[in-house]
Structure 1
Amino acid sequence: MEKNLYGIILAGGRGERFWPRSKKVRPKQLLPVISKQTMLEETFSRLNNFIPKEKIFVVGTEILKEPIDSLGIFEKSNLMYEPFGKNTALAIGFAAIKLRSIDKDSVMLVCPADHSIFPDKDFQKTIQIGIEYALKGNLVTFGITPTRPDEGYGYIELGESLLDEQVYKIKSFKEKPNVKRAISYLKKGNTLWNSGIFLWKTETLLEGIEKYLPDMYRELLEYEKHIGKSDERDNILKLYEKSPATSIDFGVMEQAENIVIVRAQFNWDDVGDWNALERIKNKDKEGNIVEGEVVTLNSKNSIIISDSGLVTVIGVSDLIVVRTENETLVCKKNETGEIKNLLKILEKDEKYKKYL
């Protein structure tokens, strides 16, 4: 693997659609959703198979400092905390400018902290293909072959094939579609899901930010002057206060011309909401997924989880029931997109904020 390869884990998301387990101070990526490890630990282990520990960085918000620090898996100097979240372009730019100060020839592999990816050997194989194109000065993203007409993902329309239906130029980025449009994408067979995993030379990415997000680049250069100095933390705050908020896709990728996409050879799920458990967990004979003290009767195709006490259900189907120590969620499986709206309602009432 490339000797100048560094892993950058984005760990600042809130995981709102996994409420009530996922909270502001301990969101989804800091929970053991798939195994006994937290998702952040799993992501670290996946990268550590081919990237040394001292070259793996994590970017998270300040509110998550205590739980991330307590994992004890990252080098202390590789923990990068944002004063507040301001979308992915700034989080990645923050990591890039720091990395440039360490290794001007660095190559960045950017991964969200909360994805399910297996097997590891196929992940590494896919990344190795991407490195060849990143070293040529391309911004590389990784696409997933769609398995269903999912409304929750962005899609990428493929252009010219560069390598045996494995690597392509990108024709266009598609916003999250409705079901009808997603079905048409699947029928055409010329789109991949946007995985949110990226690979590029640090300098290539910073050139893209300079060209397409000049205001952000100017603030990054100002922050760069203070890296390693006593006032670095104060200048991180200034960087975040003054920089625009935008995603790396919208801010850079969708405008750049030196972009390619590598078709993933690994299994992938973004574990976006409770329904994802149906794709990564075993079901009982009635099609239910149960965790904790749960008893079901005449119930099917449901997700029933208890972290505290006994939960019983009778005659339900296609339902999500999640009980934690202080909160209970009951939701139709096709209504998980409304969890964010529910949290907005709770946020407005002072007496409910403690449950967020």
Structure 2
Amino acid sequence: MPDGGARRTGIALTERQRIAWLRLIRSDNVGPATFRDLINHCGSAENALAMLPELSARGGATRAIRIATAEEAERELETARRQGARFVGIGEPDYPPALRQIDGAPPLLAVKGNLSAATRPSVGIVGSRNASIAGAKFAAMVARDCGRAGYVVTSGLARGIDTAAHRASLETGTIAVLAGGLDQPYPPENLPLLDEITDGPGLAVSEMPFGWEPRARDFPRRNRLIAGISLGTVVVEAAERSGSLITARIAADFGRLVFAVPGSPLDPRCHGTNGLLKQGAIVTTGSSDVIEALAPLSRLDLFSGPVVEEPEKTGGNMLPPDDDDRATIASALGPTPVEVDDIIRHTGLPPPSVYLILLELDLAGRLHRHVGGLVSLAMEK
């Protein structure tokens, strides 16, 4: 049986830091990776907020960058409090430890429910929204057995397999990852299920602002959180072009285990899972396949992973690169994603200069970041 997440480490943010962090992540062109780079360069979120206009202008921004105000951050914190939720920072004790390990982990998570669920070992269970009766029963069986074995079950609150997994693990603990704000569950019909999760030993999490209605592009972001929170992800039924396959691919990219339940070649809902098996996913015909494979991972120390820290020193002391260096980087980039190390080797520029120029381009809206730390130039519209 896995350790129940008794060891909780980390340093709590002050209220002032939490407001600054929320302002920074809610500002234009600041995603999780950019947030981390800003903290590393500027020394703190407050310093980063002050430097955003200069950095984005140096990157070639054509208009002033929108910076979230303290009032906006305070209103969102108050909204969370009214709804019984809170924001947890990546370096705090209640942040999911496995999620800390991934590239681009959210610096802040909105959470509601039993926070102890966040620090317990987790298994993700995902699959078709249009699930078969057999698929839903199998997902429920795996969720129930994994819950009894000490794992929290993580899924996306969708119809079908997700719903079956959540319901089967209500008593032992389940994490619902939302694509929209915590107050905007999708589908709306699962709001009563979400209430059951948060009223019990489970938890709801989201990286999106309160009031945010989920759009199609938000679901892959949600899927990355499911894969990041979980030590392994079980795919029960999935068509060839399904979000569950995105979750499985992301889990594999994170170095997590991927389990797939074989199905009939005649059922389109099984084409994706059968394809995963051809690619090396773990054949899953019973709960024991999952529990036995996860056992060694659940004993690993996940609490020593990378976190976003605010150094006591003031950052931003490095001299800005010159325009020739910026032009060199911009000309080396294109629409094809490349590794930062390749940019450094190709240009011969010092790594700190390369990272700073990429940060400037990012804040100016001229850079795309991709899974695995790859970057590409945003094409002019």
Same fold (TM over 0.5): no
Q: TM-score, normalised by structure 2?
A: 0.27
Structure number having the greater helix percentage = 2
Q: Hey, which of these two has a bigger chunk of strand by percent?
A: 1
TM superposition score normalised by structure 1: 0.28
